[in-house]
Amino acid sequence: MASDKRKPARPGLSQDRVLHAALTLADEVGVESLSMRRLGEALGVQAMSLYKHVANKDDILDGIVDLVIGQIAVPEINRNNPGDNWKRAMRRRAVSAHDTLLRHPWAPMLLLSRVNVGPASLRYVDATIGCLRNAGFSYAMADHAWNAIDNHIYGFTLQKLNFPFQPEEYATVAQSFLPQIPAAQYPHLNGMAQQVIDGKHDGLADFDFGLNLILDGLERVLR
């Protein structure tokens, strides 16, 4: 009977369990509040015990970034749909990345501030280059294209996540900021704010706008 309690209520740690707990914790409290002590607590364990399964905190951050990348839809052309093509596939990839990063608001900053060479990252990049290569881009062009699209995804998502107001607040916020941007000093900024106040411009940043500029441009490069 004693041998029955192989898993004594706590399954024991593992790198996998540590990383998934870290991902959950980062989603709940933000990556800036993810500390080794707190992560240990979430796992019912002392902070130092984590170091038996990960090298250090950076190792954890690399790990959870790769988990997030693994959630992004890899670009693939749907062979059952004759109308599908590289452009649609790359758009789906971009939208999927954008959506995924919005679900993990701490991720874009980490993505941009470290080299990501986890298995999910490698697979993601490989599929992207493959999609562009199959479309007819040279290696160099595929490299540049991939880079341009990803800059847009990361830059846009970060700016959006960072903006501290909700769309429905824009008009109110613009109104209250107006005294700080007098027309005499900042005529165009003032004018823009006025447009938002008057409901003539919603002030919404549009992910597709920039993405279309890039994808349409790439299509022209291809011809």
Partner DNA sequence: TCGCCAGGCTTACAGCGTAAGCTTACACCG
Partner DNA sequence: CGGTGTAAGCTTACGCTGTAAGCCTGGCGA
Q: Is 180 helix (H, G, I), strand (E, B) or coil?
A: helix
With respect to DNA, which residue has the nearer C-beta, 10 or 138? Answer: 10
Q: How far is the CB of 98 from a copy of itself (least distance, A)?
A: 12
d(CA 199, CA 204): 12
Largest separation between any pair of C-alpha atoms in the chain: 84
Q: Which does 35 bind (CB under 5 to 8 A by kind): DNA, a copy of itself, none?
A: DNA
Q: Which does 137 bind (CB under 5 to 8 A by kind): DNA, a copy of itself, none?
A: none
Site string for DNA, 12-51 (x = CB under 7 A): xx-------------------xxxxxx-x----xxxxx-x
Q: Which does 133 bind (CB under 5 to 8 A by kind): a copy of itself, DNA, none?
A: a copy of itself
Q: Please report whether residue 181 would count as binding a copy of itself according to CB under 8 A.
A: yes
d(CA 203, CA 193): 9
Q: Please report whether residue 186 would count as binding a copy of itself according to CB under 8 A.
A: yes
d(CA 55, CA 200): 54
The tokens for 143 are 């490299």
Q: Are 30 and 69 in contact (CB under 8 A)?
A: no
2 secondary structure, DSSP code: G
170 CB-near residues (< 8 Å, 6+ apart): 196, 202, 203, 204
Q: Which does 75 bind (CB under 5 to 8 A by kind): DNA, a copy of itself, none?
A: none
Q: Please report whether residue 98 would count as binding a copy of itself according to CB under 8 A.
A: no
d(CA 163, CA 159): 6
The tokens for 43 are 């796992």
d(CA 186, CA 211): 29
Q: How far is the CB of 69 from DNA (least distance, A)?
A: 22
Q: Are 66 and 112 in contact (CB under 8 A)?
A: no
With respect to DNA, which residue has the nearer C-beta, 14 or 138? Answer: 14
Q: How far is the CB of 118 from DNA (least distance, A)?
A: 18
Q: Which parts of this chain interact with a copy of itself (CB under 8 A)?
A: 109, 112-115, 117, 122-123, 125-127, 129-130, 133, 139-140, 142-144, 147-148, 150-156, 158-159, 162-164, 180-181, 185-189, 191-192, 195, 200-203, 205-206, 209-210, 212-214, 216-218, 221
Residues that bind DNA (CB under 7 A): 12-13, 33-38, 40, 45-49, 51-53, 56-58
